[in-house]
Amino acid sequence: TPNIKPLIAGNWKMHGTSASLSSLEAMATGFAEAASDADGVICVPATLLERAAGVVEGSSLQVGGQDCHPAEKGAHTGDISPEMLSDCGAIYVIVGHSERRADHGESDGVVADKAKAAWRAGLIAIICIGETEAQRKAGETFNVLEEQMAGSVPAGASATNTVIAYEPVWAIGTGLTPEIADIEAAHAHIRQHLRKQLGAETADSMRLLYGGSVKPGNAGDILSVENVDGALIGGASLKAEDYLGIVGSV
Ligand code: PEP
């Protein structure tokens, strides 16, 4: 979208120990040269966040978390608040990733609470939506997306505090991607629905990322689709060469 600066977001999921920081360092070093005009963030495991923030310091690459608890603090063993992520140097946090929705039973309501909590802590929420294979086959894709937007994108979402990631669940980690025309149709539908939900001015400046098996080889085609303002990348964000290859195709 012409007036929107793309975002290339990486999601390391449950991958990465100290040894992986050299890969992050290579991404930070190469980012400015690879990115003609894009923002970049790598969402690392919380255990690496503070060191990762140190590694990217001084570069234009940023770091983020992969999930947060809605509360600021409290008796929630094992959980991490957005304030804690921010304290470690996070700028973004992913909420409602399909793996969280599936593995932890997160509902749209929980995802909305997490997004609001992210804003409270000054973080940018990357809110994930997307249909399963069964839902796509049943022709329910647009209904599912509408329901997820209505339920997990809270009022108050703005182009500066929120990024929407469209990730067809069946395309995540499978090497499968939708046809370009299907990505285009889904993103147009999302933009249209967000206009109704948040107003045209907000919706037209909000970043809509595509996620699901984005690789250096398909990134150019996907990133040039109308209403695709960047990508959320899992597997291909683990290696600097892959991530920078995608960044370079913006
Ligand atoms: C993701 O987990 O958000 C994702 C898109 O994964 P992959 O790129 O590996 O499909």
Q: What is the dihedral of CA 89, 100, 168, 119, to 10 degrees?
A: -40
Whether domain 14-247 has CATH 3.20.20.70: the reply is: yes
**Burial class of residue 214 in the structure, from the number of CB atoms within 10 Å of its CB (0-12 exposed, 13-18 middle, 19+ buried):** buried
Q: Which of 210, 190, 188 is nearest to 198 (CA)?
A: 190
What is residue 191's predicted lDDT score, i.e. its pLDDT? Answer: 98
Q: Decide if 25 is catalytic.
A: no
Specify the residue with its C-alpha closest to ligand 1, atom 5.
Answer: 212
pLDDT at 56: 98
Place of tokens 């003609």: 36
Task: Return binding residues for substrate.
Answer: 11-13, 173, 213, 234-235
How far apart CA 116 and CA 141 sit, in angstroms, is: 25
Q: For the chain (length 250 residues), average pLDDT per consecutive 10?
A: 92 98 98 92 98 97 98 98 98 98 98 98 98 97 98 98 98 96 98 98 98 98 98 98 97
Kindly state if the Cβ of 96 falls inside 6 Å of ligand 1.
no
ipTM: 0.96
Crossing angle of helices 49-56 and 21-34, in 10° steps, is 40
Give me the pLDDT at residue 197, please: 98
pTM score, whole prediction: 0.98
Instruction: Tell me, yes or no, if 76 is annotated catalytic.
Output: no
Structure tokens at 100: 């969280």
Where in the chain are the domains?
14-247
Whether the CB-CB separation of 87 and 80 falls below 8 Å is answered with no
Q: Which pLDDT value is given to residue 172?
A: 97
Q: Look at residue 183 in the predicted model and tell me its pLDDT.
A: 98
Ligand 1: residue whose CA is nearest its atom 8: 234
